[in-house]
Amino acid sequence: MNFEHFKFLMSNTFKQGTEDDGALPAKYDSVAVERLHPLVLAYVGDAYFTLYIRTRLLAYEQNKVRILHTFDAKMVSAAMQAQGYKGIESILTEEEIAVVRRGRNAKSNVPKSATISEYRYSTGFEALLGSLYLSEKFDRLSEIAEKAFVVISREMTNTAGKI
């Protein structure tokens, strides 16, 4: 996307007027999950997993934000998400694996903090979470997030000195 197109989208996204209740009208009536770009799914999945991890960590610490942030940042890193995905891959359905594959193959920039492989697997994992969330498959979403949390926390326990 070029800069002019970006500026156009920014200036027109919420420009359609307002509803009677003062809310901005939605551009779309519904979300066709299967038609969304995998990076959009990963965007939603990243938000979900971050919130999941942060609330899950409250079972261990409720007063020290710095400790919460340290663990949160490590657990949602591309390297740890890739480990989490590899630990749960065997329980995924063919449909879920296909979503992960779409996310893994999406073109995106790879940060310096992760290998290309780690980043691709974490993007695929986030795309799966985003797909499940937007499809309202909340039981399955919780199951996968919890199993990934366990895998990641065990991995961190084995490498506790690296936090």
CA 41 to CA 25: how far, in whole Å? Answer: 22
Cα torsion 87, 88, 94, 99: sign: negative
Closest CA to 120 of 136, 103, 134, 132: 103
Burial of 56 (0-12, 13-18, 19+ CB in 10 A): middle
Tokens 């197109």 belong to which residue? 5
Question: Where in the sequence numbering do the catalytic residues fall?
Answer: 46
- Note whether 53 and 80 are within 8 A (CB): no
